[in-house]
Amino acid sequence: MSGRRSRMRVGGMTCGHCEAAVGRALEGAGAREVAADFRRGEAVFALPDGADVGALRRAVRESGYEPGAVERVGGEPARGGSSHDYDLAIIGSGGGAFAAAIRAVERGARVAMIERGTVGGTCVNVGCVPSKTLLRGAETYHRAGHHPFEGVKTKALAADYGAMVAQKDRLVGRMRQEKYLDLVEEYGWELIRGEAAFEDEETLRVDSRRIRAAAYLIATGARPAVPPIPGLEEAGYLTSTTNMELEEVPESVLVIGAGYVAIEQGQLLSRLGSRVTLMQRGPRLLRGQEPEVSEAVSEALRREGIEVLTGVRIERAEKTQNGKRLHLTVGGEERLLEGEAILVAAGRRPNVEGLGLERAGVELDERGAVRVDGQLRTTNPRVWAAGDVTLGPQYVYVAAHEGALAAENALGGAGRKLDLSTLPGVIFSDPQVASVGLTERRAREKGLEVQSSVLPLEAVPRALVNHDTLGVVKLVAEAGTGRLLGAHMVAENAGDVIYAATLAVRFGLTVSDLTENFAPYLTMSEGIKLAAQSFGRDVSRLSCCAA
């Protein structure tokens, strides 16, 4: 039956019986497809053209509840006159999908979420949560055997990777339940299990079930990409996912890639006993970061015994009697590397196979990612996309932001555009890498006149008392105005400190603003203020906490 989706706030509902009573009252007054929810204190329904809103409110009041105003929600009915099943159908169940579902439900929309596998997506299952808890365990083990303090006797006895992985799995299971599965019931959207594929531009099929929604959101995420290296499939390899499922670490690991996943996973394995080699095609690690950042990270890895090779072209891989072998060209010279395992950490690939996107008129870009505009709408105006499937920055907080934004826009919002200009990023290596805003090179490419300050960690009192001064703070500012354009750090807790710099870049603070504000002494955040001070003075000639 046709009808616009509407919502009424209903006071006094406390249980399922109340929901049923309100539903009967509304249907008796002409509403259709009523879904009352006592937890949210509302009822959502289809309102036929010409229906008497006053009669609806009277019916609810007469049934013993307090009616509120009736407001329109969701999108337009599907073309052809038949009503849609949902206001928003979401394919996927990760961070972006859940943020979209929560935002849509809060706007009164009827939401369906379709998932073919494990609920929760990459972050909680095979990404952020499991990797960071394992990294913390490896850091604890490493520091037991390596610290700079005289008179403090510690010893790293043994690391049981299998036990660490088991503890990680328990954490993942608990967080998946509490932060994902429990929320489905709490917010009240429908979770549909099965394979989703578009039949046409307006219809989705989940196994044998046909679904028509006013709008669709593709939030299917991405998976590790595997480069087409001859012999690699036959030789066998690990990914970031399977590496975190092992019972023991390999004796030696050849890591293909040198981005943030490669660095984190390589350091994890190295600290637990593996001999690790990182390989990078380009001339330096982290080519998108400031050169000073790349240099500091490379030095930190080398000090721990991790071999870092740059300018590498991998010719082929093969399996040997004792492990794996890679045939390389490094700087024009042939080289052989052997190890017990190969770890592929060379980027991500969007999960778009089997979705029938061509039937829906949804185009992919040259990378195979879903093509979206600034509002996250695809080439089909009824279909939106968010998160890793678009191959934007691979952070769960980006996916969540995009999911909520796409839901708002899909449900008739104000047409907000995605703005990632002040997006902070963190690499959970040790020391951590954190950055926000423009690098010096990128700022110049945008035509800006800039000046920068580079502060070695030797100038930061927190690093001195830690007896660990490997690292750097670099600030990029606009010449003349002093407006902060970017901040980049390699330091302990850099990921915590970068939020202050993010606010500074976001709200146009200047170098003077940073120098004139207080920074707590003996915290790493003081490095931001000291780097700002170094634009105009030699901070090495200041006393410990001079203003």
Closest to 93 (Cα-Cα) out of 210, 172, 189: 189
Of 475, 517, 470, the residue nearest 492 (C-alpha): 470
Q: Cα(350)–Cα(525) distance, rounded to whole angstroms?
A: 36
Longest dimension (CA), the chain: 86
Other beta carbons within 10 angstroms of residue 266's beta carbon come to: 28
Best CA proximity match to 493, nearest among 539, 518, 460, 451: 460
Active site members: 13, 15, 18, 65, 123, 128, 544-545
Length reported for the chain = 547
Of the candidates 197, 202, 252, 188, the one whose C-alpha atom is nearest the C-alpha of residue 220 is: 197
Nearest residue to 86 via CA among 106, 51, 112, 64: 112
Cα 412 → chain centroid: 25
> Is the separation of the CB atoms in 386 and 377 below 8 Å?
no
Calculated CA dihedral for residues 311, 314, 315, 320, nearest 10 degrees: 140
The candidate with the shortest Cα–Cα distance to 436, out of 451, 446, 422, 450, is 422
Report the phi/psi class of residue 467: left, alpha or beta, with left for phi > 0 and alpha for psi in -120 to 50.
left
Q: Which amino acid is at 514?
A: L
* C-alpha–C-alpha distance, residues 276 and 262, integer Å: 11
Contact call for residues 359 and 198 (beta carbons, < 8 A) = yes
SS3 45: strand
First-to-last alpha carbon distance for the chain, in angstroms, is 71
Q: State whether residue 47 is helix, strand or coil.
A: strand
The two tokens of residue 194 are 């099965």
> What is the rounded distance in angstroms from the CA atom of residue 204 to the CA atom of residue 116?
14
Specify whether the CB–CB gap between 198 and 379 falls below 8 A: no
Output the six-digit token pair for 83. 């009503």
Q: Are 114 and 100 in contact (CB under 8 A)?
A: no
* 3-class SS of residue 326: strand
Output the DSSP codes for 122-182: HHHHHSHHHHHHHHHHHHHHHHHH----TT---------HHHHHHHHHHHHHHHHIIIIIH
Rg (CA), the chain: 27
DSSP code for 539? G
